[in-house]
């Protein structure tokens, strides 16, 4: 069993090393004030004027300047190379929910690794923020308070089936799989309820729907 490093009663912002503006970091921290950096994300945090509560990873990308600015007891080296720095963090954080940013940059292999890690750890309630989207793994049942016309994309990370209310194109009866049926560019007719038989479906919404996504995933009273 993986030992938890961060156990926070507050939501966590998990910062990666990808390009992200100081404004986006501040926006995430306004919702999830406990800051954790994934390896080189420590450099991004310090550049934005924030000292992480924890830095987790193999530490091959943390600059000397960032190391000097962060108390040594907050830096956690994980030597194994079987997982990415993102997954090293995700598997060791316990919080009401996690906002991840700096993980959807130019490297497509890095992005794919993030989606795979999300599906391996669905209980972590992690939402990934990109420049245009917010992405998360759908729980077995989720209701999203969306306006009519909102884009709702569904992408399966394995075989999964389900049903929906409030989608222009209902999904009941569809057998989703990465090499088969996918559900990109659907749209809401109003609030949307989704039910699935496995924790394998990525939901992708416009970034403006972050509040609705958090409200749907976060435990009652923790959004």
Question: Domain residue spans in the chain?
Answer: 6-131, 141-217
Residue 34 DSSP SS3: strand
Residue 220 pLDDT: 58
The mean predicted confidence, pLDDT, of the chain is 94
Residue 85 pLDDT: 95
Label residue 108 by pLDDT band (50, 70, 90). confident
pLDDT of 221 over the 50 cut? no
82-103 residues labelled b (16+ CB within 10 A) or e (exposed): ebbbbbbbbbbbebbbbbbbbb
pLDDT of 162 over the 70 cut? yes
Higher pLDDT, residue 218 or 25: 25
What global pTM score does this model have?
0.94
pLDDT, average across residues 175-186: 96
Bin 36: left if φ > 0, else alpha if -120 < ψ < 50, else beta: beta
pLDDT of 1 over the 70 cut? no
Label residue 4 by pLDDT band (50, 70, 90). confident
Residue 215 pLDDT: 96
Helices (H) and strands (E) in the chain, counts: 6, 15
pLDDT of 21 over the 60 cut? yes
* 14 CB neighbour count, 10 Å cutoff: 31
Q: Quick check: do 6-131 and 141-217 share a fold?
A: no
Residue 144 pLDDT: 98
The string of pLDDT tens digits covering residues 146-158 is 999 999 999 999 9
pLDDT of 223 over the 70 cut? no
Q: Write out the CATH class of domain 6-131.
A: alpha beta
Residue 107 pLDDT: 79
42-65 residues labelled b (16+ CB within 10 A) or e (exposed): bbbbbebebebbbbbbbbeebeee
- Please state whether beta strands 6-7 and 93-94 pair in parallel, antiparallel, or not at all (unpaired): parallel
**33 with 11: CB under 8 angstroms?**
yes
Which CATH number is 141-217 given? 2.60.120.320
């Amino acid at each position: 069993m993986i030992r938890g490093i961060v156990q926070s009663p507050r939501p966590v912002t998990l910062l990666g090393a990808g390009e992200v503006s100081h404004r986006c970091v501040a926006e995430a921290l306004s919702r999830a004030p406990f800051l954790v950096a994934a390896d080189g994300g420590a450099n991004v945090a310090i550049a934005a004027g924030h000292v992480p509560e924890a830095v987790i990873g193999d530490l091959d990308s943390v600059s000397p300047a960032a190391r000097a600015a962060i108390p040594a007891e907050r830096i956690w080296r994980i030597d194994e190379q079987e997982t990415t720095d993102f997954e090293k963090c995700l598997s060791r954080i316990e919080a009401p929910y996690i906002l991840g940013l700096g993980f959807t940059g130019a490297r497509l292999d890095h992005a794919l690794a993030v989606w795979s890690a999300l599906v391996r750890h669905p209980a972590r309630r992690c939402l990934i923020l990109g420049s245009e989207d917010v992405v998360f793994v759908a729980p077995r049942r989720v209701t999203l308070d969306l306006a009519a016309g909102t884009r709702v994309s569904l992408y399966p990370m394995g075989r999964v089936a389900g049903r929906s209310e409030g989608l222009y194109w209902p999904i009941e009866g569809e057998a989703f799989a990465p090499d088969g049926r996918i559900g990109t560019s659907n749209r809401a007719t109003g609030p949307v309820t989704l039910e699935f038989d496995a924790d394998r479906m990525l939901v992708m919404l416009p970034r403006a729907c972050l509040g609705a996504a958090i409200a749907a995933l976060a435990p009652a009273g923790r959004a």
